[in-house]
Amino acid sequence: MSIGLKCGSVRLEPHDPAWDISARETIGALREVLGADAADIQHVGSTAIQGIFAKPIVDIAVGMRNPQAMRAHDGALAARGIYYRKEEYGGQLLYVMGTETVRTHFIHVVPWNGEAWINYIAFRDYLNAHPEDARLYSGLKQSLAEVYPEDREAYLAGKSETIARILADARKWAGTNTDRQE
């Protein structure tokens, strides 16, 4: 197993402890560059959910009080192989690692404790705490990956309804669970 996936393609792999190691290393590099500008940095997405299949791209969420302040660090980040790609929906900034054709990491810069931040953390923590839901989600991802191996957009669209349902459960659970990981 490895980290990285050709842009636009869909390939899933079983959970790999290398993803957690890479996430910790990347979070450390981000903390060194961003310092106090980052309120928190977390490994999120499917590679942060134990026991499920995931695309071998590590997702990191950077919670910032002012996400646009991230742009002041572009030079130092580029020196570490972290490149600004674009502003996405809801004002999220997307940074990437890898090459022009293969991505290894997506770094999502969002307002700290805003809706996107809470969603990333709640989704991850909920699925790690509810292995049956995680297995069902993993199964859906596997079937979609078989049907859409070269169509990332169709793969994502196929997951959207299930993600919305899980996220609603996760938000309720996160609001009542005091033991969740921060």
CA-closest candidate to residue 121, choices 132, 131, 110, 136: 110
Q: Which CATH number belongs to the domain containing residue 56 in this structure?
A: 3.30.460.10
CA 102 – CA 181 distance, rounded (Å): 31
Overall average pLDDT of the 34-40 stretch:
97
149, part of any domain: yes
123, part of any domain: yes
pLDDT at 180 over 60: no
pLDDT at 19 over 90: yes
The total number of structural domains that make up the chain: 1
65, part of any domain: yes
| Structure confidence at residue 129 (pLDDT) | 97
pLDDT of 39-98, one tens digit each? 999 999 999 999 999 999 999 999 999 999 999 999 999 999 999 999 877 779 999 999
57, part of any domain: yes
182, part of any domain: no
pLDDT of 101-116, one tens digit each? 999 999 999 999 999 9
pLDDT at 23 over 50: yes
181, part of any domain: no
Query: Can you give the residue range of the structural domain that contains 22?
Result: 5-176
